[in-house]
Amino acid sequence: MSSWIDYTVNGIIIGNIYALLAVGLALIFGVSRLINFAHGSVYVVGAYAGFLAVTHLGTPLPVTIALVVVVGALLGLVIERFGLRPLQGYAHIAPLLATIGISFVLDQLVQLFFTPDPRALPSSLLETRFQIGSGTIGALDLVIAAIGLASAGLLYTFLRYTRLGWAVRATAQDRDAAQQMGVDVDAVNRTVFAIASGLGAVSGLLVGMYYNYIDPAMSFQATLKGVVAQVVGGVGNVPGAIAGSLLLGLVESYGIALFGTSYRNLFAFVLLVAVLVWRPNGLFASKRQTPPEPMTGTFIAPSRPIQIPGKVLLAAAAVAALVPLVLPHPYVLQTLTNSWLYALLGLSLTLIAGTVGLVSLGHAALLAIGGYSSALLALNFGVPVGIAILSAGLIAALLGTVLVFPSFRLRGHYLSIATLAIGEIVSLVILNWEWLTRGPIGVSGIPSLSLFGIELDTDRSVYWFTLVLVIVLAALQLRLLGSHLGRVLRAVRDDDVAARSYGIRLDRYKALAFAFGSFAAGVSGGVTSHIYSYINHETFNAQLSILALTIVILGGMGNVTGAIVGSVLLVGLPEVFRVAAEYRVLIYGLVLLLLVRFRPQGLLGTV
Amino acid sequence: MTELLSLENINTFYGPVQVHFDLSLTVGRGHIVCLLGGNASGKSTTMKIILGLVKPQSGIVRFDGQPATGLPTPQIVRRGVGSVPEARRLFGDMSVRENLLMGAFVRKDQKAIAEDLDRVLGLFPKLAERLAQRAGTLSGGEQQMVAMARALMGRPKLICMDEPTMGLSPLWVDRVLDLIAAINKEGVTVFMVEQNASLALEIAHHAYVLQTGRIVLQGPASQLRADPRIRDAYLGGQEAA
Ligand SMILES: Nc1ncnc2c1ncn2[C@@H]1O[C@H](COP(=O)(O)OP(=O)(O)OP(=O)(O)O)[C@@H](O)[C@H]1O
Ligand SMILES: [Mg+2]
């Protein structure tokens, strides 16, 4: 049995590792107002660079660290070059989306080179442990603590006593004013990305040595942990990020001691949402000030949507309906069915992110809620599948809206982060709520699709069923957009200050749109569960959320037809060309990155 | 008189909206030149053009005999343009001392910078007592002093000031205007944007009146002071303020 001292030591060490990540995120946010979602990828690359150095070159620890810093810094420069610099003057969410794209690409490249399998990252340090009181502290713990302290000291010296450090601080406080003092803010950005990424890479190396374990999937969790720590400490606040990291490390370590490992991340994300909603300046902000918020503005590139005549739409629907008769190939039908399911998700997100401007990064959670609801209703209570799916839509609408409601007051980046965290929370609750969800085992034996007692057991019938769902929901959504309500929703998006001054109750309208959108996502999740017959907490993962967003941006934010087209292109096409699964995520990442940069209005234009 | 700065036929757009229409003006070496105009007439944008923060769609900016159109801001600052931005824009979390030294960011001559710090503090004795204080905690008038002192620390040939008297009490307004005149006496050319015409014209040599992006009136300050059109042109009821 470990003692409390052990848990404390462990918490502080993990806190140090988080601090190396969070400080970088805070620096980057400080000078560029960007939450860098590629930061976790730098951490993974750092871990793997260390792995290569240790296992292939046999480098001693100091050399390994130096190498990892250099690799990280170079990667940081690349991220700045492609994720931030070309997007100046774009909506502020654009660089955030670009860094998500970059992180997909980087993570996938790491996976392609090193396989997704975990590796051991042996630390060359002796397994010596020193007794302190009733606990122990290891040599590696001391090294990590020393690196944490040394980095903090170096950073402090840099910011306080060097010219460039002054430039960084001045830029963080007022970018325009700094420029007017002659500061080259682009150079400042580059410096900060290099430093932040150097530190982030070392963090990855240390974590790998600490657990003697690395795998490419660490990336996303690392980004999230860094974001949590820096939000808790106050966005853009460097000392706050360190304090937030240590706090997070301790909370997690004690949490594990009290409740077990699988709850660990739950604490982190609940903490994140709570701080975002109730203390948006972070826990340590002394005075009531509004949080830095230049990142308002939605990702709606002004454009005239391409008008598709009703006749063409009808014809397209008719062609789609005829596919099973003309091309009764199971593979084609399954692929297109899959596209229709994603189209439902796209419809949902294009309404929420496009029409109302709430860029949700946790949309897969709605699928998960829908999927589990429908599966469990049918399985545990014998509810007919058709009714179970309908209920799943309603449950997703209700639960989704209730969960996100407190975050409606947040704007821009902050809302996106909150939805991301809520998505993770939902997935972790599913993992831990075993008596209901069967936890990690997942739900199997889900009854297959049927309607009014008729089994939809052919590929053809499933195809038609999902197609009809898409057409009905798309038609409803088009009517909604054309109505007075639709105009109000767009007004909320375009200028919520103005909309508020007309007396529009923003939260209610956001909730209404969110509920409508969640219904479609819940239905999609429900149908999916009956088609798969097995789901678990990872079926609807965060990657899916980002895929959904890419679909929606590809089609054109807010564009109903675009969501369907985007889904066929992104989900259907790679399938038709039988692109190997490893390359798909790479493609999604690249598409997202290129769209944000070159065609933010999407293929069919924003509405 | 030689000219230090000139704008020729500047046309500026924010997206589809045109803010300047063939704007031309010149600032003579050693002068205080004032740009007057009502809200949203494009005054601050003129300053941003000079500083390279906004690029004009057409037109030429010349500074100190060299074309300066489209140069990045840091280069323009290096050439000798200092700025006192609208609403002062201090680095609020940095100390007064650090703010002043940020003003000398483009300079490398440490010894001369230290001397200039003393010289500037001589001009703004109030600030000497506040060197260690966080700039964000100063009063509005004190912040204005820091902003002006900060601009001086770069040893500029030209200082651009955007509404330096905005939001100050009458006492502080007088103080600030006196200081601008004093700075000018030391040989620094001043280009000043103001809404408060009667006050600005007391210290200015020359003035331009901007109305929705066009210069509608210009001349020596002595002449404009007496010109009834100054009131009619744009001041309207604002004169009271
Ligand atoms: N970054 C910007 N993007 C779009 N429009 C802008 C921007 N900055 C200013 N404008 C618009 O350009 C016009 C001129 O603005 P400017 O700030 O130059 O006016 P001003 O004369 O300084 O006004 P004030 O006296 O209120 O400071 C205004 O209508 C303003 O709304
Ligand atoms: Mg102005």
Residue range A135-168, pLDDT digits in tens = 788 888 899 999 999 999 999 999 999 999 999 9
Confidence of residue A288 (pLDDT cuts 50, 70, 90): very low
Q: Helix/strand/coil (H, E, C) string of B132-157?
A: CCEHHHCCHHHHHHHHHHHHHCCCCC
Whether B33 and B104 map to the same domain: the answer is no
Whether B9 and B67 map to the same domain: the answer is yes
Interface of B with A (CB under 8 A): 51, 53, 72-74, 77-78, 83, 85, 89-94, 98, 101-103, 105-106, 150, 154
* A124 at B interface, C-beta within 8 A: no
B85 part of a folded domain? no
- Residue A255, burial from CB neighbour count under 10 angstroms (0-12, 13-18, 19+): buried
Residue range B157-184, pLDDT digits in tens = 999 999 998 888 888 888 889 989 999 9
B241 part of a folded domain? no
Please tell me the residue having the least CA distance from ligand 1 atom 7. B14
Whether B164 and B68 map to the same domain: the answer is yes
Q: Which of B11, B13, B14, B209 to mutate to test the pocket of ligand 1 (most atoms within 8 A of CB)?
A: B14
Contact list, A161 vs chain B (CB under 8 Å)? none
For the segment B70-83, the average pLDDT, to the nearest whole number, is 93
B110 Cβ partners below 8 Å, 6+ apart?
Answer: none
Chain-centre distance for alpha carbon A291: 22
Contact A354, A557 (CB under 8 A): yes
CA separation for the pair A245, A282 (Å, rounded): 12
- CA-wise closest residue to B153 among B191, B88, B109, B203: B109
pTM for this prediction: 0.88
Q: How many residues does chain B have?
A: 241
CA separation for the pair A516, B128 (Å, rounded): 62
A447: pLDDT strictly greater than 60: yes
* A144 at B interface, C-beta within 8 A: no
| Residue-range definition of the domain harbouring residue B134 | 91-154
Given this model, what pLDDT does residue B1 score?
A: 58
Task: Supply B191's token pair.
Answer: 């280009």
Given this model, what pLDDT does residue A551 score?
A: 94
B149 part of a folded domain? yes
- Domain finish residue from B103, B121, B154: B154
B15 part of a folded domain? yes
For the segment A468-475, the average pLDDT, to the nearest whole number, is 94
Given this model, what pLDDT does residue B67 score?
A: 93
Ligand 1 atom with the smallest distance to the CA of B210 is 21
For the segment A41-50, the average pLDDT, to the nearest whole number, is 96
A237 Cβ partners below 8 Å, 6+ apart?
Answer: A26, A30, A230, A282, A284, A285
H helices of chain B, where? 43-51, 73-78, 96-103, 110-123, 125-128, 140-152, 170-185, 197-203, 221-225, 228-230
Whether B162 and B224 map to the same domain: the answer is yes
User: Regarding predicted confidence, which is higher, A505 or A375?
Assistant: A375
Contact A232, A272 (CB under 8 A): yes
Whether B64 and B161 map to the same domain: the answer is yes
Q: Give the highest mean pLDDT range of A30-39, A339-348, B9-18.
A: A339-348
Q: How many residues does chain A have?
A: 607
B186 part of a folded domain? yes
Residue range B105-130, pLDDT digits in tens = 999 888 999 999 999 999 888 889 99
Given this model, what pLDDT does residue A149 score?
A: 94
Given this model, what pLDDT does residue B30 score?
A: 93
Given this model, what pLDDT does residue A68 score?
A: 97
Q: Which residue of B has its CA nearest to A173?
A: B91
Contact A464, A321 (CB under 8 A): yes
Confidence of residue A301 (pLDDT cuts 50, 70, 90): low
B86 part of a folded domain? no
Residue range A213-226, pLDDT digits in tens = 999 989 998 999 99
* B103–chain A nearest CA distance, Å: 6
CA separation for the pair A227, B46 (Å, rounded): 40
Given this model, what pLDDT does residue A501 score?
A: 67
B237: pLDDT strictly greater than 70: no
Contact A72, A202 (CB under 8 A): yes
Cross-strand partners of B192:
B34, B161
The percent of residues above 70 in pLDDT, for chain A, comes to 94
Given this model, what pLDDT does residue A496 score?
A: 63
Counted domains in chain B: 2
CA separation for the pair A364, B89 (Å, rounded): 43
B201 part of a folded domain? yes
Given this model, what pLDDT does residue A462 score?
A: 92
Given this model, what pLDDT does residue B88 score?
A: 83
For the segment A160-182, the average pLDDT, to the nearest whole number, is 92
Whether B20 and B76 map to the same domain: the answer is yes
Of A181, A186, A287, A290, which to mutate for an interface test with B (greatest number of B Cβ within 10 Å)? A181
Whether B66 and B26 map to the same domain: the answer is yes
Q: B93 vs A176: CB contact, 8 Å cut-off?
A: no
Given this model, what pLDDT does residue A499 score?
A: 65
Q: B74 vs A167: CB contact, 8 Å cut-off?
A: no
CA separation for the pair A516, A521 (Å, rounded): 9
Strand, coil or helix: B207: strand
For the segment A165-187, the average pLDDT, to the nearest whole number, is 93
Q: Looking only at Cα atoms, what is the longest distance across chain B?
A: 51
Strand, coil or helix: B21: strand
Contact B120, B112 (CB under 8 A): no
Instruction: Please tell me the distance between residue B44's alpha carbon and the centre of ligand 1 in angstroms.
Output: 7
For the segment A189-193, the average pLDDT, to the nearest whole number, is 96
Ligand 1 atom with the smallest distance to the CA of B195 is 25
Task: Tell me which residues have their CB closer than 6 angstroms to ligand 1.
Answer: B 14, 19, 37, 39-45, 195
B240 part of a folded domain? no
CA separation for the pair B191, B97 (Å, rounded): 25
Whether B148 and B174 map to the same domain: the answer is no
Angle at B208 between CA B204 and CA B212, to 5 degrees: 140
Q: Which residue of B has its CA nearest to A166?
A: B102
